[in-house]
Amino acid sequence: MCYNITMETAAHKHWSVDETELKKDPERYAIWRLEQRINFGLGELKINKAELKKYWDKIDIDPFKRKALSLALE
């Protein structure tokens, strides 16, 4: 069996989160989306640098990933 799922469609479906409900709180949605992209991969998408800086103190990510991202942000 083969599934044709791209990051574009996968970004709108998540097994444990009701994104429709989450989108009602734009800040929480932005933080969740950043955490998902950092922790589970981007595919062809890129992280918005301004958004990452904006929510830097609020995202919950692995310390090693945080260090690597902080070096990239310099």
Per-residue confidence (pLDDT) for residue 40, from 0 to 100: 85
Per-residue confidence (pLDDT) for residue 15, from 0 to 100: 66
Token pair for 15 = 């097994």
- Give pLDDT tens digits for 18-67: 888 999 999 999 999 999 888 888 778 888 899 999 999 999 999 999 99
| Confidence class for position 4, pLDDT limits 50, 70, 90 | very low
Q: Higher model confidence: residue 10 or residue 34?
A: 34
Strand, helix or coil at 59? Answer: coil
Is residue 56 within 8 Å of 31, Cβ to Cβ? no
Measured between alpha carbons, how far is residue 58 from residues 6, 7, 14, 43, 66 in Å? 28, 24, 21, 23, 12
